[in-house]
Amino acid sequence: MISKISKIKSLKRRSKIVCLTAYSKNIAQTIDKYTDIILVGDSLGSTLYNFKSTRSVTLEMMIRHSKSVRQGIADSLMVVDMPYNTYNKPSQALNNCKKVIKLTKCDGVKIEGGLKKIKIIKHLIKNKIPIMGHLGILPQSTKKFKSKGKSIKERNELIRDCKILEDAGVFSIVLECVESKLARHITNLIKIPTIGIGSSNNCDGQILVLDDILGLTESKMKFVKKYANVKKIIAFGAKKFKKEVKSRKYPSQKHSY
C-alpha cells in the first residue's frame, strides 16, 4: 500500500494539493474529505489563545490539540507544527519530534528554516522523522511580515534553502509569502511539492488557516480569502436560543426527560 507521504509527493504536477489547519476532532472530521493535508498549526496560538505570536505556543499545547485532531482524520495526511524553541539542537529536536509522533500518531512534523536548521533537519530525517519544510516568512522568527524573494539576495537564499531541504529529504516545503515568479521557479526546480500561502497559484498546493477562511478571525493578511461567515451563523443560533429560553419555549416537553 502506498504511504500517505508518497501519495502527497505523487500529486506534484498532477493535482493541486489542498491543505487546511485544524485544532480539534470535530473540525478535522468535517474537513477530512476535502483535504489532502491537515496541519495542526502553531497558528493556534493567535487563533485560539490570543497570543501575539506563535512563540508562546508550547509543545504540550500542540500535543493536546493534535491528539484531538487525530481522532477526526481518516484519509488526510496529518502534520504537526513543532513549536518555537523545541528544535534548537539535534538531540532536543529528535526527542521532541519522537514524543509528538508517539503521542499524536501524526504522519509528520513541520519545521521552519533552511540553512540555519539544516543540521537538525538532516539528523531528524536520518532518524526516520518525516519533515515538512517551511521557507519564506517564518512566523516563529520573523518580526516584520514582508513578502520574500524580491531582492536578488533573498531570491538566491530561498533557492539555495529549497535545494538543501530537498537534498536533506523533506517531503514537501511550505512557501509563505514568496514572490510569485520565484515561487513558480522553485516549484519547477525541485521534485517535491511546494505548498503556498500567499505565494500565488504557482505552487503545487495551498494552505490557509481554517478559522480565517470561515470568518471566525479578522485576518488582515492579503492572502486570506473568506469563504464563509460562520460568525454570523453562530450569532444567529445563539440569538434564537436566547429568545426561546427567555420566552420559555425551550425546553419543551420534547426536549425534557
Q: Hey, which residues are catalytic here?
A: 176
- How far out from the chain centre does Cα 193 lie? 15
Give the alpha-carbon dihedral of 193, 197, 202, 204, to 10 degrees.
20
Cell representation of residue 251: 425546553
Contacts by residues 242-249 (CB-CB < 8 Å, ≥ 24 positions apart)? none
Identity at 222, one-letter amino acid code: K
Q: Centre a 10 Å sphere on the Cβ of residue 81 and count the other Cβ atoms it contains.
A: 27
Per-residue CA distances from 246 to 110, 233, 234, 240, 252 (Å)? 48, 20, 18, 10, 13
Q: Which helix (H) or strand (E) holds 168?
A: helix 152-168
Q: Is the dihedral of CA 59, 60, 63, 65 positive or negative?
A: negative
